[in-house]
Structure 1
Amino acid sequence: MPIPDQLSSINPETYAPYRDPRDYILSWTDEIWIDMGLGRLGEHYGKDIKVHTAYGETYDFDHVLMNSVQKMSAFPNGGGGSGEDVLWEERGPNGFISSHRVFKTGTHTGYWTYGPPTGKDWVSRTIAHCTVQDGKVVEEWLVRDEYAVLQSLGLDPNKVAWDLALASPVTGEVVDVATSAAFAGTYENPTLEGISGKRPDRFAAECEMIKAMYEDVWNSRLFNMVGDYCSDKVVSHSVRMRRAQGIQGYQQQVIDLLAAFPDGRIELRDLVVNESSDLGLRVAAVWTLHATYSGVPIYGHPTRSPVSIMGITHFEIRDGKILREWRLYDEIAVLTQIMRARQLSGEEF
C-alpha cells in the first residue's frame, strides 16, 4: 500500500471507488481493454482531453475513442497489457499525476497503421503519463516503443517511417515536430513545477539527484560520473527490449544514443515521485532530447536535420542511487523526422 501521508493529501473522491490512484489506473485499464468496454472511456477521460504524442496532438475525447477502436481491431488480444508500475503523486487536493508503465503483448490479426495483418506476435512497452483531475484523465503524454513492435512483426522500420512522415498516424497530416505542443515550453526547475503542474513539497533530494544526473552524465558528457548516481548493480531497460547491466553497460547505452546525436541536450520537463512499502521509492521523469542527426549513421546517412525526442524514464531508487531504470522513447517517431528531412531534400525511398 502507498505510504499513508502521500495518500492522505488527496481527496478520496478523486480516485473513488478504488483503493488508491494505482488501483484507479489499473482497474480502469482492465475494464476498458480486457473487458472490451471501450464505450466506458467517456467515464474515464475528460471530454476535452489533451493527448500529446511525438506524432501530433489531439484535443478531444472522440479521437481517443476512434484510435482505440482501430487498435483493438488490429490487436484484439493485446488488451491493455500488464501494468508493471503506476507512479503517482498529488497535483492539488482533487488531482494526481499517474505515470503508468505497461508491458504489452499481442498478435497482429487485423489491419493497422502499418498495413494488413501479419499474424505475428509482438512485445513492447508503453508509458502513459496522465493528469487526473476530479476523477477523470484530462491530459496525457504518451510514449510507445514502436520499433519493438515492428521488429516483432518483421516490418521495415524505414518504410513505415517514410509513410508516417507523409501523414501522421494521429492527425492524418504532416507534422512539424518543432511546433508540436508536446515539445513546447521550457521548465526552469521541474523539481518544483513541470508540465503536470506544481509538485508537493516532498522528495526534493531525489528530484535534485535525477536533475543533476541528466545535467552531468547526459548534457556535460561526464560519463565517468554514472557511478555517482547509479548502483554498481544498476539494470537499465531501454527501447527494442534492450537491457544493460552494471556501470559500464549503462555508460555505453548513453554513449551509443548520443553518438547519433552528438549535440543533443536533455531538457527535463516533469518529475513524479512515489514511495510504497511494496515497491519502494520510484521516480518518473519526462524529458526531451533536442539534437541534430549528425553523428553515427544508426538511422541511415546523417541528414544534419533537427530532431526532438520525447521520452519518459522510470527510476527505482535504492539507498540513494538508481538501481533499475526503464527508459522509453519512440524510435519510429525519431526515424519519421529523419525521413521527413530526406523527403524535403528531394530524396526518394
Structure 2
Amino acid sequence: MQRPQAEDMTGFDPEFSNLDQYIRVITRRIWDERRIDDIHKYYSDPCLVETPGAVTTDIADVVNGTVASLGIFPDRRPLAEDVIQSGDAQTGFLSSHRGISAMTHLGDGIFGPATGRRVHARAIADCVCKDNRIVHEWLVRDQAAIALHIGLTPRELAERWLKERGGWNKAVAGPAPGGYVSHVSEDPVARGYAAAIEGFARREKVDLAQVYDDAVHHIGPGGITRYGHEEVEAYWNGLFGALKVESFAVEHLAMQRGGGRADRAALRWRAQAVHTGDGAFGAPSGRRVEILGINHVEFHEGKVLREWVLVDDVVLWMQVLAEA
C-alpha cells in the first residue's frame, strides 16, 4: 500500500513523518506488541473517550479497557484498513482509523463465558492527535458482530448488559479539549454524501443514483454485507424507519484525494431520535435514543463504491429496552 508523503509533524516524535504512520505504529505497539504502558506515552491524561455507550476521561480507563479486552480475546490483532485524516499539527490532526480485529473468544468477561469461537469485528476510532498524544477519541465498535459470532443476538447481549449495569446511564460528553474544532469538509462530493445520510435519517427521498455507484458494496453492523442500491436503501430505511429523528449533526467530515488511492471520506454523525415505529428494534417503545455513527466511503467517479457503516446495534437495543 502506498503511504502518505512526509508532512509537518511539529510536536510529534521525530520517528513519525506523517499522521498515517503515527496511528499505525502506536496501534501496533499497544495491541500487537502488548506494550500497554505505551498508552501513557501516546494518550493525554485526562483524555476524553466517547463510545456509543460510555464516556470516560481517566487514562486508567483506557488502560483497564485494553487489558480487559485482551483478557477476553488474548490473540486479538487489530488489522489496520485505512486512516483518513484532516487538520494539522498546529491545531490538531483528526485521524479516522478503520480496522478489523481477528480474535478468538477465549476468556470470560463482558461477553459472557468464553465460547472458543472465532470473531471478526470492525471498529473506527476518530482521534484528535496533538503533540504526540491522542487527546480526544470517539470510538465505535461493531458489538453486534461480536454478539453474533459468539452465538448471541444483539438484543440478548443488550439485555445482559442492562442487567449487569443496572440500566442505561451514559454520561454526557464535554467539549473537545484544547479548543480543537472538528473539521467539516467543503468538498462537494463529501458534502453530498453527508447530505444523503441526513436525508435517510429524516426519511426524505434520496436519489441513490446520484450518490451511490450501481455496484456499491456496503458493510454494516453485524459485519453484514449488502450490494447495490436496493439493499443499501433497505439498510438505511430499516435503521431510521422506526425512529423519529429530532436532530442530526455532522460532527466531522474529512475528504482525501490523490496519493495513488481512491478518493475517500470519513463521516462522523450523531442523531437524537424517538423510537416510534415497528422495525429492526422491535415494537415502538417511545424511548429516546442517540445514535453515534462513523462511516468510511470510497468513491469511483464521484459516487460511493464502498461504504463501511459503524453503528453499535447493541447499544441501540440497550436504549430501546431500558426502563424509563
Q: TM-score, normalised by structure 2?
A: 0.90
- Asked whether the 8 Å contact 1:86–1:101 carries over to 2, the reply is yes
Task: Mark the CA change 1:242 to 1:264 in structure 2 (over 3 Å): closer, same or farther.
Answer: farther
Unpaired runs of 5+ in structure 2? none
Which of 73, 76, 80 matches 2:74?
Answer: 76
- Pairwise CA distance, 1:155: 2.6
Segment drifting more, 203-212 vs 288-297: 203-212
- Asked whether the 8 Å contact 2:142–2:310 carries over to 1, the reply is yes
> In 2, Cα distance between the equivalents of 1:93 and 1:102?
27
> In 2, Cα distance between the equivalents of 1:43 and 1:231?
43
1:194-209 matches, within 5 Å, as: 197-199=181-183, 204-209=187-192
Aligned to 1:43: 41
Q: TM-score, normalised by structure 1?
A: 0.84
- Pairwise CA distance, 1:13: 4.0
CA RMSD of aligned residues (A): 2.5
1:109-124 matches, within 5 Å, as: 109-124=106-121
- Higher helix proportion: 1
- Asked whether the 8 Å contact 2:11–2:89 carries over to 1, the reply is no
Task: Mark the CA change 1:217 to 1:158 in structure 2 (over 3 Å): closer, same or farther.
Answer: closer
> In 1, Cα distance between the equivalents of 2:204 and 2:225?
21
Which of 184, 192, 195 matches 1:212?
Answer: 195
Tell me the SS of whatever aligns to 2:156.
helix
> In 2, Cα distance between the equivalents of 1:123 and 1:134?
33
The one-letter amino acid paired with 2:183 is: R
Aligned to 2:214: 232
> In 2, Cα distance between the equivalents of 1:246 and 1:153?
29
1:247-286 matches, within 5 Å, as: 247-263=229-245, 266-286=248-268
The one-letter amino acid paired with 2:295 is: T
> In 2, Cα distance between the equivalents of 1:338 and 1:68?
28
The one-letter amino acid paired with 1:160 is: L
1:59-208 matches, within 5 Å, as: 59-79=57-77, 81-91=78-88, 93=90, 95-168=92-165, 174-177=167-170, 180-181=172-173, 197-199=181-183, 204-208=187-191
- Asked whether the 8 Å contact 1:15–1:21 carries over to 2, the reply is no
Question: How far does the alpha carbon of each residue in 1:204-248 deviate from its partner, in whole angstroms, 9 at most, with x for none?
Answer: 32342233323444425213x111111222211111111221222
Tell me the SS of whatever aligns to 1:29.
helix
The one-letter amino acid paired with 1:76 is: P
Q: Number of residue pairs matched?
A: 321
Aligned to 2:17: 19
Task: Mark the CA change 1:296 to 1:114 in structure 2 (over 3 Å): closer, same or farther.
Answer: same
Segment drifting more, 291-300 vs 304-313: 291-300
- Asked whether the 8 Å contact 1:15–1:24 carries over to 2, the reply is no
Question: How far does the alpha carbon of each residue in 1:1-39 deviate from its partner, in whole angstroms, 9 at most, with x for none?
Answer: 5665xx64x335436412321111111111111111111
- Pairwise CA distance, 1:180: 2.4
> In 1, Cα distance between the equivalents of 2:54 and 2:167?
9
> In 2, Cα distance between the equivalents of 1:120 and 1:126?
19
Question: How far does the alpha carbon of each residue in 1:74-114 deviate from its partner, in whole angstroms, 9 at most, with x for none?
Answer: 101013x1111111122452631110101112111112112
Tell me the SS of whatever aligns to 1:298.
coil
- Pairwise CA distance, 1:258: 1.9
Which of 52, 55, 60 matches 2:53?
Answer: 55
